[in-house]
């Protein structure tokens, strides 16, 4: 059974102020880029922030991670009017 890389990916993206491309994540995680390309859409809280030029006239997606607070208060029920 392989370990999930999701937590490590989120950790690396949160530590990177400018985001990371798949190639950068590949080097940091020592993981195949094809595997990361399949994994990224399934990682909670990550998104493509922008595209940057890559070799051969292509573009590379720059991935970011949302910063979710540790202590999120639960929503309060709204009182409804009873007229």
Residue 32: per-residue pLDDT: 86
Place of tokens 């798949």: 22
Q: Which domains does the chain have, with CATH numbers?
A: 6-65 (1.10.10)
Residue with tokens 């639960």: 74
| Per-residue pLDDT at 16 | 94
Give bridge partners of residue 48 from the DSSP assignment. 63
Question: Under the phi-then-psi rule, with left for phi > 0, alpha for psi from -120 to 50, and beta for the rest, what region is 56?
Answer: left
pLDDT in tens, 18-61: 999 999 999 999 988 888 999 999 998 999 999 999 888 899 99
Alpha carbon separation from 78 to 71, 73, 81, 83 (Å, rounded):
21, 15, 10, 16
């Amino acid at each position: 059974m392989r370990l999930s890389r999701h937590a490590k990916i989120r950790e690396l993206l949160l530590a990177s102020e400018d985001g990371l491309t798949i190639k950068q994540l590949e080097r940091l995680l020592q993981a195949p880029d094809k595997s990361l390309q399949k994994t990224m859409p399934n990682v909670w809280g990550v998104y493509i922030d922008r595209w940057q030029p890559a070799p051969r006239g292509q573009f590379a997606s720059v991935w970011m991670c949302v910063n979710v607070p540790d202590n999120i208060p639960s929503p309060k029920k709204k009182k409804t009017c009873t007229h």
